[in-house]
Amino acid sequence: MTTDTSPRLALRRLPSSAQEQSFGLNFQGRLHGALAHRLGVDILKGVYAPGQVLPNEIDSSSTLDISRSAYREAIRILAAKGMVESRPKAGTKVTERKRWNILDPEVLGWMFETEPSEEFIKGLFELRLITEPAAAELAALRRTEAHLKAMDTALDVMEAETLATETGRKADLEFHDALMNATGNEALASLSHSIGAAVAWSTRFKQRSGPLLRDPVPDHRRVYDAILRQDAGAARWCMESLIRMALDDTQRTMKTQYLEPRT
Amino acid sequence: MTTDTSPRLALRRLPSSAQEQSFGLNFQGRLHGALAHRLGVDILKGVYAPGQVLPNEIDSSSTLDISRSAYREAIRILAAKGMVESRPKAGTKVTERKRWNILDPEVLGWMFETEPSEEFIKGLFELRLITEPAAAELAALRRTEAHLKAMDTALDVMEAETLATETGRKADLEFHDALMNATGNEALASLSHSIGAAVAWSTRFKQRSGPLLRDPVPDHRRVYDAILRQDAGAARWCMESLIRMALDDTQRTMKTQYLEPRT
DNA sequence: ATGGAATATAACTCAGACAATTCATCGTGA
DNA sequence: TCACGATGAATTGTCTGAGTTATATTCCAT
């Protein structure tokens, strides 16, 4: 009589998906992490709308067939990211969208699982276009030998591996991270790290939909050269053009995906 | 025989401090929230260094005299902000500083409870100096009547109340929030909201150390006027000078606080 | 040395109870 | 009629104690 098609198994089966392993974002197959992930994505998708109150802990945990502790810890995670808010008697409700910490790396990752709106992507690139050229400028002024070396080796890996491989994409991230460290600005580095990870995440889709993309290494190399010779203006300009090209590629990819969704 | 000077009482007494009430950051007197707050501040202060593993759940919760559930939920919150990482057998360890989500509004708030380094403050203003003028530019191009009205009313309140009162500081935040909404860029708005809240938090100190500060309303009004007449260049420039003045004030304040720490 | 199995330790999950908070309702008095 | 205080109910919050699972370490055999 126990037709156990309960959601619990679905949750339990989530641990260590191919996605998270290759992306580095580990919710580690812990039950609370998996549930937070699932609920977070559902909120981002609009399955639970802002203002809506979730079923109470008892009901939720029993229909999900997990313990209240695990459920509560998942809610704690979402609350820490500003996505829900709990009060006794009032329940747990989804907060208004403006209060979500969408620049949280995890939230950003969830976002890219839900085919984010083109508007959102454009906003993200717009932000990159504001921050990263300025960062390149600062990096050109403040970089040390160590920073240069880190950037250089990352570039070498990128060149050898291209963005088609996992290590290649990782090298891309490392290049940008090294650049951000060179700015000596912790807050700026944190911001760019979040966005960079999210954008790298979307790069996988670009790569999948067709290999007909420009080689990104020369663009990166130009940025590096400008920083090497401490030419702040050139660094800014090269970085800006690099991002514009990435945006261009991304938009083209999104368009083709809309036109031929099954390629 | 029960000499109950246990830390539990200290925690229990934390709820709803004057700080959080006036600042709007509510950790609501919940035990897990209070503990997360405390641990978070301790990590930021360096009481627990990156790489260090915390005592295990059993010990921690018993020495704090709280239940394991509450302790675990606190840890979940910190983990969600990237500050700790837990694994079976390995324990819960503080992650490296680069992985902390320092742009999380709550983390930023904790930061300002620990007298952040001058370097950090400068970095934050540097980031503001990058993003906010660009935001003002976008706002000038995209603002609607509704945005203008929101900014205008906020300015009126600021004018009437000054930054000495709570409602005055709130109006300042509302002005910037309305401006960010006018950019139509969700990510940018989220970023500026975080930073703005943190900076407003520090404004309380500025105000306390002496009323000899410039009236900020004219500067804000200039930004508003530029946005009103859709003059993107002027908006950028006015915003930039506004932030430079704020930075100037903040630095002067920090310096006097160093010189006469007991005024 | 190297690879694999045993072990111990920590977090993880569970269950059930009780406490605390707060929203809503009702009643009372001005 | 309105304001305000007491009461009740619903929900999260906290506690306890147990068993489970993952994994770093150790030890053994190869």
CATH architecture, domain A117-259: Up-down Bundle (1.20)
Question: What chain B residue is nearest to A25 in terms of C-alpha separation?
Answer: B82
pLDDT(B250) > 60: yes
Contact B79/A77, CB-based, under 8 Å?
Answer: yes
What percent of chain B stands above pLDDT 70?
A: 83
Determine the Cα–Cα distance for residues B119 and B113; give it in Å rounded to an integer. 16
Instruction: Choose between A230 and A162: higher pLDDT.
Output: A230
Q: What is the pLDDT of residue A254?
A: 74
Closest residue to B124, CB basis, from A72, A187, A189:
A187
- Residue B87, H or E segment: strand B84-87
**pLDDT the model gives residue B249:** 84
| pLDDT, tens digit (0-9, with 9 covering 90-100), for A165-187 | 888 888 999 999 999 999 999 99
Taking the C-alpha atoms of residue A182 and residue A176, their distance in angstroms, rounded to an integer, is: 10
So what's the architecture of B116-259 in CATH? Answer: Up-down Bundle (1.20)
Least confident interval from A74-83, A181-190, B156-165: B156-165
Interface test with A, best of B107, B185, B195, B239 (most A CBs within 10 A): B185
Residue B202: the pLDDT is: 78
Task: Determine contact: A61 vs chain B, CB below 8 A.
Answer: no
Q: What is the pLDDT of residue B201?
A: 79
- Of A38-42, B8-12, B77-81, B149-153, the poorest mean pLDDT is in B8-12
Report the pLDDT value the prediction gives residue B26, as an integer from 0 to 100.
46
* Closest nt to residue A54, judged CA to C1': D11
Judged by C1' against the alpha carbon of A61, the nearest nucleotide is C14
Nearest CA in chain A to B81: A80
When CB atoms are compared, the residue of A80, A103, A130 closest to B81 is: A80
Q: List the domain boundaries for chain A.
A: 7-99, 117-259
B88 Cβ neighbours under 8 A, 6+ residues apart: none
Whether residue A7 has pLDDT greater than 70? no
Q: What is the mean pLDDT of residues B192-202?
A: 88
Let me know: does A147 contact A141? Beta carbons within 8 Å: no
Distance B58 CA to D4 C1' (A): 47
- Helix or strand (DSSP H, E) at B134: helix B118-142
Which CATH architecture group holds A7-99? Orthogonal Bundle (1.10)
For every residue of chain A, which 3-state class applies, written as one string?
A: CCCCCCHHHHHHCCCCCHHHHHHCCCCCCCHHHHHHHHHHHHHHHCCCCCCCECCCHHHHHHHHCCCHHHHHHHHHHHHHCCCEEEECCCEEEECCHHHCCCCCHHHHHHHCCCCCCHHHHHHHHHHHHHHHHHHHHHHHHHCCHHHHHHHHHHHHHHHHHCCCCHHHHHHHHHHHHHHHHHHCCHHHHHHHHHHHHHHHHHHHHHHHCCCCCCCCHHHHHHHHHHHHCCCHHHHHHHHHHHHHHHHHHHHHHHHHHHHCCCC
Is there a contact between B185 and A126 if contact means CB atoms under 8 Å apart?
A: yes
Report the range of poorest mean pLDDT among A13-17, A145-149, B232-236: A13-17
Contact A31, A70 (CB under 8 A): yes
Residue–nucleotide distance: A252 CA to D21 C1' (Å): 46
Is the C-beta atom of B12 closer than 7 angstroms to strand D?
no
Q: What is the per-residue pLDDT across A78-113, written as a single tens digit (0 to 9) for each?
A: 999 999 999 999 999 999 999 999 999 999 999 999
CA of B153 to C1' of C17 (A): 52
Separation CA A251–CA A237 (nearest Å): 21
Q: What is the pLDDT of residue B2?
A: 38
Q: Name the residue among A140, A136, A158, A115 with its Cα closest to residue A229.
A: A140
- Residues A243 and A129 sit within 8 Å (Cβ to Cβ): yes
Query: Bigger pLDDT: B17 or A140?
Result: A140
CB neighbours of residue A51 within 10 Å = 9
Partner residue facing A131 (CB), from B101, B102, B131: B131
Residues 4-23 of A with CB under 7 A from strand C: 8
B249 in reach of chain A (CB within 8 A): no
Positions in chain D where some atom is under 7 Å from a protein CB: 9-18, 21-24
**CA-based Rg of chain A, rounded to a whole angstrom?**
21
Cβ of residue B12 lies below 7 Å from strand C: no
| Closest CB from B36, B69, B103 relative to A187 | B103
Give the residue from B22, B25, B21, B19 showing the smallest Cα distance to B193. B25
Residue B100 with chain A: CB contacts under 8 Å: 190
Q: What is the helix (H) or strand (E) element at residue B92, kind and residue range?
A: strand B91-94
Residue A15's nearest nucleotide, by CA–C1', is D22
Out of A7-16, A203-212, A243-252, B185-194, least confident range? A7-16
pLDDT band at A201 (very low <50, low <70, confident <90, very high): confident
B91 touches strand C (CB under 7 A): yes
DSSP assigned state of B56: P
pLDDT digits (tens, 9 = 90+) for A9-48: 456 544 444 344 434 444 558 999 999 999 999 999 999 9
Check A194 against B100: CB less than 8 A apart. Answer: no
Name the CA dihedral angle for B62, B68, B70, B74, rounded to a multiple of 10 degrees: 90
Q: Would you say the C-alpha torsion A58, A62, A67, A71 has a positive or negative sign?
A: negative
Mean pLDDT, residues B7-30: 49
Name the residue facing B127 among A81, A87, A188 (closest C-beta): A188
